[in-house]
């Protein structure tokens, strides 16, 4: 910037002196400017030689030397200004492109408020240890990864996730470092040290990304060598045919700023665009390789699935309603640190259940937990722990639940109340709602083959693979076998590998591009990978692939366009149509054009459609309502099952209760979706056809609910006979299948479109 200011001032001063009739003094000013540019060009050439690179700054050096030698001082001054402005513009462009990356470094927490001997003390970040209790004040950055100790917190996670709406966390929820406390102060229990925290890992990756020399820039250097040879040959020919002045004019327009600016600016711009969408890429070379990948390998657990158990359904024995059953179980599980207990507690809270404080708690590792909740003796755990001792004594509802769990690859947690088995909770690792949509988008972006590689059991892996639509499933694979799978697929083409666990790290390192699901922290997989998804959303993978391909295209386009325009200008200068001074001005315009074109990589691909802010909030609302709908589905399935092993009068009462839920909760929800949610989706997709099939699903659901009401009216209050039970069972199972499929389709195709479907709190 200092050089730019000096050269511009010198050029203007020389012009003013010439206009004032002091040509000699004006020439001296232009000479001084030319010498400044010559010295700067010489310094950059020496720097290139030290790095063992033959840069095209040599052309700028020769052009300045030639201009001074033949007395074209105005041209020399203009070249100096051009060179200085090109470097300044490069610095501004790169700085503009890296803004989103360097913002992470600038926001790094430096210290924390730690409780010690009943008082708060400000301590350096490196002194924090696991188990320390910290106070996070309003507006503070969370210094380390931890667990929310009490109450609730409202957090601004936009720096990590790109989601502008603050999110709410409850006591016991994990909190990542680097997010901002947007609500009241809260206490945090540190679960890792500062160096092991999410934010520290991201900062390390950013530092690596800024230091890497991308291969694509080396490609530009290869272009530059040929460009240098052509430029020197053209200048020599012009000298032979028309003299030194013509040779200088050729060298002036051959100044290679398009080559030395375009590729780096485009690649850093692409990295910035990816960072804004929650993907930290460890260098421009990764983007260039990512753009060439045609095969995708995916881990299952934590990548295609959430990676954490969740309650899929509640099967009760008839004595307690599902919500009451899970409320009692979750109240007791609050006292347990088991991962399944946490899933039960979360499921109960998602249903809006009020939890009580348990008493007389006794937990047996590997078996279960028991205690007193609201005056009831409650036991949660294995079947034997809850009073189911032998297969012959197992009731029909428990056998059916075990069969469902086995077929779905799920887990069962039994619940006993007051010494009697009361129900069973079925837990699974749910497929991410955005998984299927992401894989379809990746196929549309050039991925030709998708393979799931997992250490999980074959039947479970095949089920997940068939749901999301992969080309092949490789199950029960060890880390070494995953590595072999990557090597085998590399014989077909460039491989992109996505995983999240330590067992994925070797495969991530072996693949052409490894991407880690690092939203829960920067572990071994994040260190081995070339890029890290810092937000827990698989669909960002499709976005970053589009960014990579668009960035590579823009970089190549900028390089070739800059070279083409410079070669055309060289031809004009060689023919005597472009004097040295105007050639310098034209070359400055070419520089600006290629840099502006390279900066287009900052924008996301046009194909990435996103919901408006208000519409995104609408999808979050309906995603929350789906938790209620799924609870009603469990009641529906349970009522259908009860028709086979409970007294007819009791079974009929349960069906009538389910019909009431359908009429008062499910149908109003489907109707509201039709009139509120679907118009918002049409606005985004641009066509009513985008929701036409799902609207037909709403109509069919309403029709089947009406049929159920008519059937109940026909049966009346009397006990149903076998034919009535068969009709009811068929109708209930059919309704359950339609509603389950329809809800899952909405989750995948529509409700996962919002950037964050977690609970959100509007800004205060």
Return the active site residues.
299
- How many Å from the N-terminal Cα to the C-terminal Cα in the chain? 42
d(CA 587, CA 562): 9
Give the C-alpha separation, 84 to 87, whole Å: 5
Contact criterion met (CB below 8 Å) for 372 and 354: no
How many CA atoms lie within 13 Å of 231's alpha carbon, on the beta-carbon side?
A: 29
Q: Name the 3-class secondary structure at 577.
A: coil
Give start and end residues of each alpha helix (H) in 168-256.
Answer: 198-211, 215-242, 244-253
Strand 295-298 versus strand 119-124 pairing type: unpaired
- Which residues, including other chains, have CB under 8 Å from residue 457's CB and lie 6 or more apart? 409, 475, 476
**Closest to 359 measured CA to CA, from 370, 347, 345:** 370
**Cα-flanking dihedrals φ and ψ of residue 603, to 5°?**
-80, 145
Residue found under tokens 């315009």: 589
Give the Cα separation of 651 and 657 in Å (integer).
10
Phi, psi for 431 (deg, rounded to 5): -65, 140
Q: How far is CA 227 from CA 354, 559, 640, in A?
A: 73, 11, 76
Tokens of 749: 């195709």
Q: Which residues pair with 279 in a beta bridge?
A: 533
Question: Can you tell me the distance from the alpha carbon of 98 to that of 107, in angstroms, rounded to the nearest whole number?
Answer: 14
CB contact at 8 A, 334 and 356: no
**Residue 186 is inside which H or E element, if any?**
strand 186-190
Instruction: Check if the beta carbon of residue 736 is closer than 8 Å to that of residue 640.
Output: yes
């Amino acid at each position: 910037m200092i050089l730019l200011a000096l050269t511009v001032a010198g050029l203007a001063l020389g012009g003013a002196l010439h206009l004032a009739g002091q040509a000699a003094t004006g020439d001296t000013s232009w000479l001084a400017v030319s010498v400044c540019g010559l010295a700067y060009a010489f310094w950059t050439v020496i720097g290139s030689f030290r790095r063992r690179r033959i840069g095209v700054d040599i052309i700028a050096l020769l052009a300045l030397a030639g201009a001074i030698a033949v007395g074209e001082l105005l041209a020399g001054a203009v070249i100096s200004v051009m060179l200085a402005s090109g470097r300044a513009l490069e610095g501004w462009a790169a700085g503009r492109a890296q803004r989103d990356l360097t913002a992470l470094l600038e926001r790094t927490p430096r210290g924390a408020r730690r409780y010690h001997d009943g008082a708060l003390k400000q301590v350096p970040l490196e002194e924090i240890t696991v188990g320390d209790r910290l106070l996070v004040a309003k507006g503070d950055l969370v210094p380390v990864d931890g667990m929310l100790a009490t109450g609730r917190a409202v957090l601004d996670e936009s720096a990590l996730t790109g989601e502008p709406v603050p999110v709410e966390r409850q006591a016991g929820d994990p909190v990542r470092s680097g997010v901002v406390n947007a609500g009241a102060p809260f206490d945090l229990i540190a679960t890792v040290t500062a160096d092991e925290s999410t934010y520290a890992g991201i900062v390390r990756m950013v530092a690596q990304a800024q230091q890497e020399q991308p291969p694509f820039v080396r490609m530009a250097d290869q272009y530059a060598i040929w460009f240098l040879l052509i430029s020197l040959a053209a200048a020599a020919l012009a000298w032979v045919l028309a003299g030194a002045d013509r040779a200088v004019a050729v060298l002036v327009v051959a100044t290679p700023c398009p080559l030395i600016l375009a590729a780096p600016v485009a690649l850093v711009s692409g990295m910035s665009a990816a960072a804004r969408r929650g993907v930290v890429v460890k260098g421009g070379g990764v983007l260039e390789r990512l753009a060439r990948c045609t095969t995708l390998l995916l881990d299952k657990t934590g990548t295609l699935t959430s990676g954490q158990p969740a309650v899929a359904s509640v099967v009760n024995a008839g004595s307690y309603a599902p919500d009451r059953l899970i409320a009692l179980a979750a109240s007791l599980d609050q006292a347990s640190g088991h991962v399944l207990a946490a899933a039960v507690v979360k499921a109960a809270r998602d249903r809006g259940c009020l939890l009580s404080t348990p008493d007389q708690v006794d937990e047996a590792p590997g078996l279960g937990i028991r205690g007193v909740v609201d005056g009831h003796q409650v036991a949660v755990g294995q079947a034997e722990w809850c009073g189911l001792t032998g297969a012959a004594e197992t009731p029909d509802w428990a056998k059916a639940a075990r069969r469902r769990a086995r077929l779905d690859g799920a887990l069962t947690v039994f619940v006993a109340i007051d010494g009697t088995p009361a129900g069973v909770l079925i837990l699974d690792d749910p497929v991410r709602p955005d998984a299927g949509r992401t894989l379809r988008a990746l196929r549309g972006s050039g991925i030709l083959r998708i393979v799931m590689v997992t250490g999980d059991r074959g039947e479970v892996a095949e089920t997940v693979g068939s749901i999301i639509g992969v080309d092949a499933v490789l199950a029960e694979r060890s880390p070494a076998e995953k590595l072999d799978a990557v090597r085998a697929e590399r014989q077909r083409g460039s491989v992109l590998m996505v995983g999240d666990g330590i067992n994925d790290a070797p495969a991530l390192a072996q693949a052409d591009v490894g991407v880690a699901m690092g939203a829960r922290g920067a572990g071994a997989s994040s260190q081995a990978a070339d890029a890290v998804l810092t937000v827990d959303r698989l669909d960002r993978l499709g976005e970053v692939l589009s960014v990579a391909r668009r960035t590579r295209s823009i970089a190549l386009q900028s390089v070739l366009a800059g070279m083409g325009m410079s070669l055309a200008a060289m031809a004009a200068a060689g023919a005597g149509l472009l004097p040295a001074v105007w050639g310098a001005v034209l070359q400055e315009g070419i520089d600006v054009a290629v840099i502006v074109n390279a900066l287009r990589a900052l924008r996301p691909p046009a194909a990435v459609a996103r919901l408006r802010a208000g519409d995104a909030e609408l999808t979050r609302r309906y995603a929350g309502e789906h938790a209620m709908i799924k609870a009603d589905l469990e009641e529906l399935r349970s009522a259908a099952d009860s028709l086979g092993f409970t007294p007819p009068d009791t079974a009929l009462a349960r069906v009538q209760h389910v019909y009431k839920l359908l009429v008062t909760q499910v149908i109003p929800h489907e109707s509201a979706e039709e009139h509120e949610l679907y118009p918002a989706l049409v606005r985004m997709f641009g066509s009513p056809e985008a929701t036409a099939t799902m609207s037909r699903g709403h109509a069919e659901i309403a029709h089947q609910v009406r049929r159920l009401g008519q059937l109940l009216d026909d049966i009346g209050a009397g006990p149903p006979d076998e034919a009535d039970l068969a009709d009811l069972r068929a109708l209930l199972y059919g309704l359950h299948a339609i509603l389950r499929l329809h809800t899952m389709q909405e989750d995948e195709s529509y409700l996962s479109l919002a950037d964050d479907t977690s609970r959100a709190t509007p800004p205060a």
